[in-house]
């Protein structure tokens, strides 16, 4: 589903948007089944909670998911995500494999995701999609976003490295709870972070990165990018420039 003008205005001003549709329940179940196997087998690359133990319950993040199983690529290419993205990024969209490309497992007790902005405002627009395999709530530490912070005219370190609740960013942020199967899109320049998981179940979400294909790129086969929609067009000026006869 594409965005209305009003939805696009909302995304451009706040920096985030909750897609109105959910991923099909069957696809979410398959994603969870694949993820169960990845966690159970502790299949690397993994980022661990800081518990010192190495057990499935301590898996904080599964990295490099797109090459683990086709189901993850199927989800990343789903119209529920790509429909709104086409309104934001245009028809030619690439999915990055060297940015995000992970599942936040967030087991019970999982620590904060500290405040950060993934990109600088002068970078090409990068849209993050969080795809929820489980419900995300205030109790299990849902993401908080500082609305409008992608448009900052001010300088701020991308990783301020201050306490979560103690930071001034906390007081400027909004919590964004999400349903299972929901898709949250945000401009990766927005400051964001997430709370501690105080529930007794995990809070799984896929984190994916999308950009518009750059039509001035001469090298079209970047091994770190998957064409998710459209084509890799080229619009560089020819030289010598043809004169009208």
Ligand X SMILES: O=C(O)CCC(=O)C(=O)O
Q: What Å distances lie between residue 107 and 48, 50, 126, 186, CA to CA?
A: 10, 12, 27, 24
**φ/ψ of residue 170, rounded to 5:** -60, -45
Restricted to residues 134-153, the positions that interact with ligand X (CB under 6 A) are 143
State the minimum distance, in angstroms, from the CB of residue 215 to ligand X. 28
Q: What one-character DSSP code corresponds to residue 167?
A: S
Restricted to residues 25-84, the positions that interact with ligand X (CB under 6 A) are none
Q: Does 113 bind ligand X (CB under 6 A)?
A: yes
Restricted to residues 168-207, the positions that interact with ligand X (CB under 6 A) are 192, 194, 205, 207
Q: How many CA atoms lie within 13 A of 25 on its CB side?
A: 0
* Residue 92 vs 95, nearer CB to ligand X: 95
Residue nearest to ligand X according to CB distances in the complex? 207
* Residue 75 vs 113, nearer CB to ligand X: 113
* Residue 19 vs 143, nearer CB to ligand X: 143
Q: What Å distances lie between residue 198 and 139, 166, 176, 201, CA to CA?
A: 6, 18, 16, 9
State the minimum distance, in angstroms, from the CB of residue 208 to ligand X. 9
Distance CA 118, CA 61 (A): 17
* Residue 92 vs 183, nearer CB to ligand X: 183
Say if residues 181 and 22 touch (Cβ distance below 8 Å): yes
Distance CA 106, CA 197 (A): 7
Binding residues for ligand X, how many (CB under 6 A)? 8
* Residue 85 vs 92, nearer CB to ligand X: 85
Of the candidate residues 23, 89, 104, 189, the single one contacting ligand X (CB under 6 A): 104
Give contact residues for ligand X (rule: CB under 6 A): 104, 106, 113, 143, 192, 194, 205, 207
């Amino acid at each position: 589903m594409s965005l209305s003008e009003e939805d696009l205005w909302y995304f451009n001003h706040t920096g985030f948007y909750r897609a109105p549709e959910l991923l099909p329940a069957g696809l979410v179940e398959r994603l969870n089944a694949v993820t169960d196997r990845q966690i159970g087998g502790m299949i690397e690359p993994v980022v661990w909670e800081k518990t010192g133990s190495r057990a499935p319950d301590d898996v904080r993040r599964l990295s490099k998911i797109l090459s683990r199983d086709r189901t993850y690529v199927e989800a990343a290419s789903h119209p529920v995500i790509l429909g709104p993205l086409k309104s934001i990024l245009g028809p030619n969209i690439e999915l990055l494999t060297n940015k995000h490309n992970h599942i936040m497992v967030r087991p019970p007790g999982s620590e904060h995701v500290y405040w950060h902005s993934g990109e600088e405002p002068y970078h090409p627009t990068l849209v993050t999609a969080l795809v929820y395999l489980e419900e995300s709530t205030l109790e299990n530490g849902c993401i908080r976003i500082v609305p409008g912070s992608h448009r900052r005219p001010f300088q701020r370190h991308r990783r301020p490295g201050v306490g979560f609740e103690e930071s001034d960013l906390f007081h400027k942020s909004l919590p964004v709870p999400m349903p299972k199967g929901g898709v949250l899109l945000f401009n990766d320049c927005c400051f964001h972070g997430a709370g501690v998981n105080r529930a007794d179940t995990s809070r799984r979400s896929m984190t994916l990165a999308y950009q518009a294909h750059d039509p001035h790129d001469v090298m079209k086969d970047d091994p770190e990018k998957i064409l998710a929609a459209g084509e890799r067009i080229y619009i560089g000026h020819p030289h010598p420039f043809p004169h009208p006869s």
